[in-house]
A = this chain, B = another copy of it.
Amino acid sequence: MSTTPGTLPEALAQRLADSGLRSTPQREIVYSVLLAKRDHPTADEVFARVKTDLPTISLATVYNCLETLVQCNLVRSVNFERGPTRYCPNLRPHAHFHDEQSGSTHDIDLPPELLEQVKHVLPAGYDAKSIEITFRGKAQPGAR
């Protein structure tokens, strides 16, 4: 396992507290579900996964928790096509590769200097706070 048991909820609690929010079982499980399988699930998919641990959770709460995690900068919301929003707990600068065959989405790490280069196409007067890059195409089944 990549984290010591008990450590993750505490880090989450800290981040939430920083925003004046409470740690709750619902928020913890939603977040852990995102970390467990980083496949950019929709709210519905998160709902289904969370239910196995917390069968009484509601879909409204899943939406609330996801929104909270996004506000705390623990999760990014991703919209690269019409359809439900997807959620990504990878906080490193990265692009998304959308494999049209399988429908799956892969994270592609972005070197900071590339992001700088991309920013340089902006004419004077534009100040970008964030950049999103999405690739679309086919990925070999085994691609890392």
Contacts and interface: CB of A to CB of B under 8 A. Distances in A.
Interface string A19-55: 0000000000000000000000000000000000000
Nearest to A94: B121
B143 A135 contact: no
Contacts of A128: 97, 135-137
Given A79-B79, A97-B128, A122 B135 contact: yes
Interface residues of A, number: 41
A94 to B, nearest CB: 10
A73 to B, nearest CB: 15
A118 to B, nearest CB: 7
A2 to B, nearest CB: 22
A143 B118 contact: no
